[in-house]
Chains A and B, each alone.
Chain A
Amino acid sequence: MTKSPTIYVVDDDQDVRDSLKILLEFSQYAVQTFESAVKFLATDLQQLDGCLIVDIRMPDMDGLELQDELLKRKVELPVIVVTGHGDVPLAVRAMRAGAVDFLEKPFREEALLESVERALQHTPRKPTVKSDEGNARLAALTDREREVLDLVIEGHTNKEIGRILDISPRTVDIHRAHVMEKMQARTLADLVRMSLSHLS
């Protein structure tokens, strides 16, 4: 066996699994695929080394439940959750529970490899060092922008945020754009990732 880490793919769709395996193997990763969370949990979890790519929506046990189960069993494996569009609140929950990243289906090869690299470099369970730069970006936010950011990463819609803060959804939109700009986040996943590692 090579010492190189393995990418574990858990997805109930066979072609998604197969295609991910082929693609990742091209990038010299060892890949193991599983059709369900239950099948994955049946492996020798203590021997795992690498990272897990898991679909958030699966029958029986979904991605979030698998993540919980791994935490319970003290398996320290970096997790990337894969979501359909519109599952942002679920994805945020996964990130809060310690997922390294989330990918929206369908995703580009570059985005996938970037996530996998990040996951493999990630040392799980160690407190993330707060970079000065991240803190500086956060410090640049106004109080209102900070409030909007907190609610966005809780998975609220603009309308809900507007209601909670008693401002119009349109105003929320503007604050949100400023937050993205100041935090230098390209996507919502970026924003959630950055915020979760710098807020505590």
Chain B
Amino acid sequence: MPELGIARLASTDALFHALIRTAIDGIMVIDEEARIQVYNPACERLFGYTRAEVLGRNVDMLMPEPYHSEHDGYIARYLKTNIPHIIGIGREVVGRRKNGSTFPMYLSVGEGKVNDQRIFVGIVNDISEQRARDKRIQELQGELLHVTRMTAMGEMTSALAHEINQPLTALLNYTSAARRMAKNLGEPAAQLVDILERAVDQTERAGLIIRRLRNFIEKREPDRAPEDVNKIVEDAIALGLAGFRDTGTKWILKLQPGLPQVLIDKVQIQQILVNLIRNATEAMGGRDKRQLTITTALDGNEVEIAVADTGSGLPNDVVSRLFHPFVTTKERGMGMGLSICRTIAEAHGGRLWLAANTPQGATFKLSLPIGSAMERGK
């Protein structure tokens, strides 16, 4: 198997050939004029050109525009200035296949000398799958963010409505009592009775406005379908980890196989789990032992998901109000997370609660009913 130019000099080395042929990554060597001298089988797979089609030709044939036209310039500039832009560094670039399609690749370039001739060695790694995975996570995150915003808006309204309904209820009761009192006074208080009637009506009107507002927000009904809880846990972990790279947390998954499906809005339940996972991860920041355990199990007519961390637990004064809106232990938190999560859980006929809280860690549990509607839904 004759090699051209520089490579011929090395071809006596059987090891060199074995290396080139068996490498998973694409390996190519070009000379100072950018002519391809070595092109291994992995490159053939990546670019779709056979070795015979590329040997001796300018390597810019493997690049889409603008690199295709500019590549000779890059080399000339390097030869003139000796200032490397990619050599010895490596970067993400785009490759062009024989059929014209392009793909993202990681290219690292090294420089060497063989018999006083300068060569450049390129190692090419196809990163399209990794890219696709990143994109999928990004999409999931986008979806989650959208739902989070919508839910947050709904929850803000709900929380506000709930908070206002309390004093409104008291107000209506007090006013009704005053109306009674005025009625007992008889004729002299007739005008007072009339005024208090109107006050009662107006309080009711305020209640109706809130009710209408909530109806409007709740128009966006959850989108429920039978789902596999374990699959959702796995997705949630991928999502929960995005943006929290390498925190040194040890993950323990105890997912019970063969769990019945539950009728849920997948994205919303993911949102609960992502919240719990992120809270847990944050709670363990700075701790020596960082271990996150997620368990799924069947408990009677419910599927139960537990998220346990090894953080320092929650302060007592927070625990009693943990699921109230606007309660947070975080400096920059809004305190809507757990409140929203509980609302979602309850809207599914399920529950969310703090199952354990010790200085060695907290455990949150989410239960979802295996409703009778499930069988009918199938």
| A85-B372 in contact (CB<8A) | no
Q: Which of A13, A105, A107, A157 contacts B221 (CB 8 A)?
A: A157
B197: shortest Cβ distance to chain A, in Å?
11
With a CB–CB cut-off of 8 A, which chain A residues contact B127? none
Q: Please determine whether A106 and B203 come into contact, CB atoms closer than 8 angstroms.
A: yes
B347–A89 contact, CB under 8 A? yes
B172 touches A108 (CB 8 A): yes
How many residue pairs bridge A and B at CB < 8 Å?
101
Contact A106 B207 (CB under 8 A): yes
Take A22-B174, A85-B214, A86-B158 as given contacts and tell me if A108 and B373 are in contact as well, using a CB distance cutoff of 8 Å.
Answer: no
Within the complex, what minimum Cβ distance (angstroms) separates B370 from chain A?
Answer: 13
Q: Name B161's contact: one of A16, A85, A108, A151 (CB within 8 Å).
A: A85
Bound CA span A156–B349, Å: 9
Question: 26 A-B pairs, CB-CB below 8 angstroms?
Answer: A15-B166, A15-B167, A16-B166, A16-B173, A19-B169, A19-B172, A19-B177, A20-B173, A23-B173, A23-B174, A26-B177, A26-B180, A59-B321, A85-B161, A85-B211, A86-B214, A87-B346, A105-B165, A108-B200, A108-B204, A155-B349, A157-B222, A160-B221, A160-B224, A164-B373, A164-B377
- Chain A residue nearest to B207 (CB atoms) is A106
State how many angstroms separate the Cβ of A176 from the closest Cβ of chain B. Answer: 14
- Going nearest first, the 10 A-B pairs with the smallest beta carbon separation are A19-B173, A15-B170, A109-B176, A159-B221, A106-B169, A19-B170, A106-B207, A106-B172, A105-B169, A22-B177
* Chain B interface residues toward A at CB < 8 A: 158, 161-162, 165-174, 176-177, 180-181, 200, 203-204, 207, 210-211, 214, 218, 221-225, 263, 320-321, 323-324, 346-347, 349, 371-373, 376-377
A132 at interface (Cβ–Cβ under 8 A)? no
**A33 → chain B closest CB, angstroms:** 12
- The answer to the question of A180 belonging to the interface, with a C-beta cut-off of 8 Å to chain B, is no
| Extra 5 A-B pairs, beta carbons < 8 Å, given A20-B173, A105-B168, A108-B204 | A13-B170, A85-B210, A105-B169, A163-B377, A164-B376
Judge if A196 is at the interface, Cβ distance under 8 Å. Answer: no
User: B324 — nearest CB in chain A belongs to which residue?
Assistant: A59
Where chain A touches its partner, the secondary structure class is helix
Contact call B181/A26, Cβ cutoff below 8 A: yes
User: What chain B residues lie within 8 Å of A84 (beta carbons)?
Assistant: 161-162, 165
- On chain A, which size bracket covers the interface? 35 or more
State A155–B225 Cα separation when bound (angstroms). 16
Residue from the set A22, A89, A90, A105 with the largest chain B CB neighbour count within 10 Å: A105
Kindly supply a per-residue 1/0 record for chain A positions 151-169, scoring 1 wherever the CB is within 8 Å of any chain B CB and 0 otherwise.
1001111111001100001
Query: Judging by beta carbons under 8 Å apart, are A160 and B373 in contact?
Result: yes
Query: Which of A20, A84, A107, A157 counts the most chain B CB atoms within 10 A?
Result: A84
A14's closest neighbor in chain B, by CB? Answer: B170
Measured CA separation A148–B324 after assembly (Å): 34
- Residue A18 CB within 8 A of the other chain: yes
**Alpha-carbon distance A85/B163, docked complex (angstroms):** 12
